[in-house]
Copies of this chain bind each other. A is one copy, B any other.
Amino acid sequence: VIEDVASVAQMAAAIKEMHVRGAGLIGAAAGYGMYLATLEASGAGSDGEFEASLSRAAETLRATRPTAVNLAWAVERQMRAIMGETSREARIARAFQTAREIADEDAEYCRRIGDHGVKLIRRLHRKKGATVHILTHCNAGWLAFVDYGSATAPIYAAHDAGIPVHVWVDETRPRNQGAKLTAWELGQHGVPHTVIADNAGGHLMQHGMVDMVIVGTDRTTFTGDVANKIGTYLKALAAKDNNVPFYVALPSSTIDWTLASGDRIPIEERASGEVTKMTGRLPDGSVATVDIAAPGSTAANPAFDVTPARLVTQFITERGICEASQKGLRSLFPEMK
């Protein structure tokens, strides 16, 4: 669905209700949200009122999803950019330009993640001499970013380079981003893939059916801990237990340079109904939602979990591949204190 978003309130709703989702895409959406905020503030009586209106919009956008750091990062980047100008017209123009920069950077960074990540897949293919089986969780594909996706960028790059790959797609309950989005994306691109229940990945790894795992991240501490879609931690444990390399692909916009530990990442708790109901297509093609839990039973729904750095083999960033640690990240981003 292509949706026109014409106000901060609409953008906030689109992010909160997950019309747009995925680390990169909600960052880009928040960037444009802040541009809309400058338009909405443009009729303000004074510069003080303009800035107060902007601050309220920033707060509204930041509050939509607590875990992914791209949102806060994009909003703060916009605030700095906008405040760097003085006239109202220049502020609006600067906000639009910055929103485009955020979106273009996301696309470019994901492309580079593909360039770096494909080397890992090529190496596995040379070693194995057969199809490389890659497991991924949730959707960190182009539906989650502006263009290429993070975790899927190396997969598309490998497929396009003629390296035989096959993807195990975790369905990713409760919202099924894997079965619905990643499977669809891969199918559109002609990449061989098989959907599996989230429960199945450990068994496949025990039986040598997974050569590598690549996932995305919604927030990465500068020490290398990774908050990603709920269930990622379980796959990281299984990968470790079976000596399967576990990679996290991330544009640097997902790094939180202020957090030293994943324990301090706020974890979004979403509605119970996302677990107890399921939406799909009826045989006649219409869309229906069915109750799938015992009547009267309620559900808890934490949306993310934290995978500690010790379980991550390496990070794939736009600047290259590094160890999942403070030292590793600093080696690629020496300008960050």
A residues apposed to B, CB below 8 Å:
168-169, 171-174, 176, 179-181, 183-184, 186-187, 193-204, 206, 229-231, 233-235, 237-238, 241, 267, 275-283, 288-302, 304-306
Contacts and interface: CB of A to CB of B under 8 A. Distances in A.
A200 B288 contact: no
A234 B238 contact: yes
A200 B186 CA distance: 26
A186 B294 CA distance: 10
Contact of A176 (B169, B186, B267, B292): B292
Nearest to A137: B199
**Complex A-B, nearest 9 residue pairs according to Cβ-Cβ distance, in ascending order:** A199-B231, A280-B290, A184-B294, A203-B305, A183-B294, A183-B297, A280-B292, A237-B237, A195-B299
Contacts of A235: 234
Contact of A231 (B200, B288, B290, B296): B200
Contacts of A203: 230, 233, 267, 302, 304-306
A278 B276 contact: no
B241 A237 contact: yes
Contacts of A290: 278-282, 288, 290
B267 A195 contact: no
A275 B305 contact: no
Contacts of A275: 171, 179, 195-197
Contacts of A233: 202-203, 206, 238
A231 B202 CA distance: 7
A299 to B, nearest CB: 4
Contacts of A306: 203, 206
B202 A174 contact: no
Given A195-B276, A199-B234, A231-B200, A179 B297 contact: yes
A198 B195 contact: no
Given A179-B299, A200-B305, A203-B233, 4 more contacts: A180-B293, A193-B297, A196-B299, A237-B237
Contacts of A198: 173, 197-199, 231
A182 to B, nearest CB: 8
A293 B171 contact: yes
29 contacts: A171-B293, A173-B198, A176-B292, A176-B293, A179-B276, A179-B299, A180-B292, A186-B297, A194-B298, A195-B275, A196-B275, A196-B299, A197-B198, A197-B231, A197-B299, A199-B231, A200-B230, A200-B305, A203-B302, A204-B302, A206-B233, A206-B306, A234-B234, A237-B237, A237-B241, A278-B280, A279-B290, A281-B291, A290-B290
B237 A169 contact: no
Contacts of A281: 290-291
A276 B184 CA distance: 13
A206 B233 CA distance: 10
A142 to B, nearest CB: 14
A128 B221 CA distance: 33
Nearest to A193: B297
Contacts of A172: 199
A66 to B, nearest CB: 15
A196 B293 CA distance: 10
